């Protein structure tokens, strides 16, 4: 399934490890999705309030607010 650039579904990737976010971002983009990244649950919640992504990939072991609490 292909989408126009402005019609792609958005996946929010939340992980405190930049390398993991980068790898997952590249993978979901290779599948035709738009990747958005957050390094913390707090940052992810702010992004979700602004743009409501279609899917969230969330690390459960995050500093501060954990992925389970978020």
Whether residue 13 is contained in a domain is answered as yes
Tell me: pLDDT of 5 over 60.
no
Whether residue 41 is contained in a domain is answered as no
Whether residue 12 is contained in a domain is answered as yes
Whether residue 42 is contained in a domain is answered as no
What is the domain count for the chain?
1
Tell me: pLDDT of 3 over 90.
no
Does the pTM exceed 0.75? yes
* Percentage above 70 pLDDT, the chain: 84
Strand order, beta sheet including 10-14: 34-38, 10-14, 55-58
Minimal CA–CA distance to 56: which of 17, 5, 21, 4? 21
pLDDT at 13: 97
- Classify 44 in phi/psi space as left (phi over 0), alpha (psi -120 to 50) or beta: alpha
To the nearest 10°, report the CA torsion of 67, 63, 35, 46. Answer: 80
Average pLDDT over residues 18-47: 96
Q: Which two tokens stand for residue 35?
A: 């990747």
pLDDT at 2: 54
What is the domain range of residue 16?
1-36+53-60
Whether residue 65 is contained in a domain is answered as no
Whether residue 43 is contained in a domain is answered as no
């Amino acid at each position: 399934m292909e989408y126009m650039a402005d019609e792609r579904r958005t996946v929010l990737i939340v992980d405190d490890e930049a390398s993991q976010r980068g790898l997952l971002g590249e993978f979901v983009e290779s599948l035709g999705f738009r990747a958005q990244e957050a390094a913390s649950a707090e940052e992810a919640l702010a992004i979700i309030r602004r743009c409501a992504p279609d899917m969230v990939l969330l690390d459960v072991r995050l500093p501060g607010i954990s992925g389970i609490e978020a």
